[in-house]
Amino acid sequence: MQDPRTIVITGGSSGIGAALARSYARPGRFLALTGREPERLQRVAEECRTAGATVEATVLDVCDREVLETWLTAIDRDHPLDLVIAIDRDHPLDLVIANAGVSAGTGSFGENAEQTRHILAVNVDGVVTTVLAATALMRPKRHGQVAIMSSLAAFRGFPGAPAYCASKAAVRVWGEALRGMVAKDGLTVSVICPGYVKSRMTAVNDFPMPFLMESDKAARIIQRGLATGKARIVFPRRLFACVWLLALLPPAWTDPLLKRLPEKPADHR
């Protein structure tokens, strides 16, 4: 969508989500941002207001289906909202970016059951809840775009992050299929697959991250891709080529190499 006016970004309080919020912020735009940590979220909201946007910043957990659905509905339909702030303007949804996500440290002890369930809950259930609620609101108007935050980790399972890779693969494939399904309703779905981007998520990695990118640059690439309704926004291309090749080769060839790759330090989310 060329010039979305009402934009929802889950996980807008940090990293790529915050960079996207800043890059979309300008007069005439309404940004609805979520995150779990109030201070971080308010800081980003203030930056966007300074750039001229109208901003609604709401602390919520994307795993809380009822709260998320109520919030999105309120933004879309101008319903009175009994959450944090009452929304008093009509903001039909133009673009919803299901970006909120987590990873976990797996170094030394591997991935435990709690980490696995938490990653799948936020990265899969949280995304599915956001996208289903958004498309249900957009469908009757035959208007709207949804973006799903996947990753280059979606193309091959890496031993250092099994649940993370699985979660990103699930939403990538789901989003690609959904794109075809909702096209007849006049809606667009785009899947975003970044490589390494500077954020709190990657700040804890103590290993070299090839082609590591600033979050503002990633946001510009994503915004350009969304403006043309691209099916898959994948970057950087050179890292994508490596991951693609790894996925094509037989596991018997690639497993020995992948087993030697470094892991995110334990105790990090």
Ligand X SMILES: NC(=O)c1ccc[n+]([C@@H]2O[C@H](COP(=O)([O-])OP(=O)(O)OC[C@H]3O[C@@H](n4cnc5c(N)ncnc54)[C@H](OP(=O)(O)O)[C@@H]3O)[C@@H](O)[C@H]2O)c1
Q: Which residues are catalytic?
A: 164
**Of 122, 103, 90, 94, residue with least CA distance to 9:** 94
Shortest Å distance, C-beta 82 to ligand X? 19
Shortest Å distance, C-beta 92 to ligand X? 23
For the chain, strand residue ranges (E) read 6-9, 30-35, 54-59, 95-98, 145-149, 188-194, 232-235
Interface with ligand X (CB under 6 A):
10-11, 13-17, 34-37, 40, 61-63, 99-102, 122, 126, 149, 151, 194, 196-197, 199-202
Shortest Å distance, C-beta 247 to ligand X? 16
Residue placing its CB nearer to ligand X in the complex, 126 or 144: 126
3-state secondary structure of 10: coil
User: Identity (one letter) of the amino acid at 228?
Assistant: T
Shortest Å distance, C-beta 245 to ligand X? 19
Residue placing its CB nearer to ligand X in the complex, 97 or 187: 97
* Range list of H helices, 59-141: 65-77, 113-120, 127-138
Cα separation, 201 vs 11, in Å, equals: 12
Could you say which DSSP state residue 269 is in? -
Shortest Å distance, C-beta 91 to ligand X? 20
Cα separation, 98 vs 146, in Å, equals: 8
- Tokens coding 265: 């330090």
Residue placing its CB nearer to ligand X in the complex, 15 or 225: 15
Residue placing its CB nearer to ligand X in the complex, 38 or 186: 38
Which phi and psi angles does 193 have, rounded to 5°? -125, 85
Partners of 95 in the β-ladder: 7, 145
Residue placing its CB nearer to ligand X in the complex, 93 or 243: 243
